[in-house]
A = this chain, B = another copy of it.
Amino acid sequence: MNRKLRMGMIGGGTGSFIGDVHRKAASIDGMIELVCGAFSSTAEKSIQSGKDLFLPKNRCYGSYEEMILKEKELPEDERMDFVSIVTPNHMHFPPAKMALENGFHVVCDKPMTLTLEEAIELEKIIEKSGKLFALTHNYPGSPMVKQAKALVDNGDIGTIRKVVVQYLQGWLSTDLETTGQKQAAWRVDPKRSGIGGALGDIGTHAENLVEYITGLKITEIAADLGRFGKGRVLDDDGNLLLRLENGAKGTMSFSQIALGEENNLAIKVYGTKGSLEWQQENPNQLITHWLEEPVKIYTPNGNKLHPAAQISRIPAGHPEGYLEAFATVYKNFSNHLIAELKGEKIDNPDYPTAKDGIRGMKFIYAAVESDKNNATWTKI
């Protein structure tokens, strides 16, 4: 199969944030070609966005339905292989369902769907379709997160006792949604975001990171959500107690009103033999502590990395960032898809799937329920 994979994008018109991220991330490794898109809600706008991306007019569609149906009719060596869904949450399920049912693989932004029900149904559709589904939790794509997970999996830090995780942003400190800023507008709107605000937008990343690194499920949470922005009905802040399946405990704090914070996702994991600390804003360090050793700091392409963490594209000391981690999700998905197309099998392909997506949705639902009950412990 000597060709690039062909991607069709749903959403992500000119000026969008996450659509642009997906395109850049998908392009870095030279494995994926953007061939078509339903970038906007009108054909005209979609064509304009496509033009900026050097796409021919006839591959710029006015709706995802049109794209899926028309691409399906194209010859096999021309039509898209998969769709990338980069719309607000309420527009994840419909196109994902239709794409899968028409034979296309799917990459979808998080959270998986608008509602938990949709997520559960989508998982069934995925299974039935036999197609691949990737959810773009990007942070596990960072080499130092892989190293953290490897140290845990390897037993190096012993039994985990405590987790402290935070995901702090400040961009909704002001009532930004009242200024016409699109990113803010849909995030505070339950019709487009679902029942979680910051919870779904970033809380799910924190939840996913905890479970990815520790390999443990968060079994119950006590959540105290805040709605600090004027008139907001969805949370823009959350403070949680965590209990993990092995008896470990912890806290989670997320916020979009933590003024001045940019994208401060950080996690600390304490075991009986060692501990780990990783910060997204300084992603090229994994700080570790040990019972009888000095502090050790691992770096991408540095010394003594676990093979699973040896995924850097550039030499040690050449900083990698957000896009590279994001690209790793696409890369691992692409390798899986190439194998599929060749009729080969891959064991445990390393990218987030519907399973992670459903965990995320359950987390959102449990947090909202706990919050309604004044932060009573609620099972995920």
Least CB distance, A168 to chain B, in whole angstroms: 8
**A2-B51 contact given A292-B304, A321-B321, CB 8 Å threshold:** yes
- Residue of B whose beta carbon sits closest to that of A300: B262
- Residue of B whose beta carbon sits closest to that of A321: B319
What B residues does A252 contact at CB under 8 A?
251
Contact flags (1/0) for A28-43 with B, using CB distance below 8 Å? 1110001000000000
**A275-B290 contact given A317-B264, A321-B318, A323-B313, CB 8 Å threshold:** no
| A380 at the B interface (CB under 8 A) | no
| A320 at the B interface (CB under 8 A) | yes
What B residues does A271 contact at CB under 8 A?
259
What B residues does A2 contact at CB under 8 A?
51, 54
Among B291, B303, B322, contact of A319 (Cβ-Cβ < 8 Å):
B322
Bound-state CA distance A261–B164 (Å) is: 13
What B residues does A169 contact at CB under 8 A?
317
Among B27, B161, B292, B298, contact of A28 (Cβ-Cβ < 8 Å):
B27
Cβ B174 vs Cβ A291 within 8 A: yes
Least CB distance, A143 to chain B, in whole angstroms: 12
Cβ A28 vs Cβ B30 within 8 A: no
Cβ B243 vs Cβ A260 within 8 A: no
What B residues does A280 contact at CB under 8 A?
317, 319
Cβ A24 vs Cβ B29 within 8 A: yes
**A294-B289 contact given A23-B30, A161-B228, A255-B162, CB 8 Å threshold:** no
Among B241, B243, B270, B316, contact of A222 (Cβ-Cβ < 8 Å):
B241
What B residues does A250 contact at CB under 8 A?
239, 253
A268-326: which have CB < 8 Å to B? 268, 270-275, 280-284, 288-299, 301-304, 313-324
| A166 at the B interface (CB under 8 A) | yes
Cβ A298 vs Cβ B304 within 8 A: no
What B residues does A374 contact at CB under 8 A?
377
Cβ B377 vs Cβ A281 within 8 A: no
What B residues does A226 contact at CB under 8 A?
161-162, 249
Among B161, B283, B303, contact of A292 (Cβ-Cβ < 8 Å):
B303
**A294-B283 contact given A162-B237, A260-B275, A318-B321, CB 8 Å threshold:** no
Cβ B294 vs Cβ A296 within 8 A: yes
What B residues does A162 contact at CB under 8 A?
226, 237, 253, 255, 257-258
What B residues does A219 contact at CB under 8 A?
none
Cβ B296 vs Cβ A295 within 8 A: yes
| A4 at the B interface (CB under 8 A) | yes
Bound-state CA distance A258–B289 (Å) is: 10
| A367 at the B interface (CB under 8 A) | no
Q: Besides A23-B30, A24-B28, A240-B241, 11 other CB < 8 A contacts? A: A30-B53, A164-B253, A170-B289, A262-B316, A280-B317, A290-B303, A293-B303, A294-B296, A313-B323, A318-B321, A319-B322
Enumerate chain A interface residues (CB-CB to B < 8 A): 2-4, 17, 20-21, 23-24, 27-30, 34, 51, 53-54, 157, 161-162, 164, 166, 168-171, 173-174, 222, 224, 226, 228, 237, 239-243, 249-253, 255, 257-264, 268, 270-275, 280-284, 288-299, 301-304, 313-324, 374-377
Q: List 5 A-B contacts (CB under 8 A).
A: A161-B228, A258-B275, A261-B275, A292-B304, A319-B321
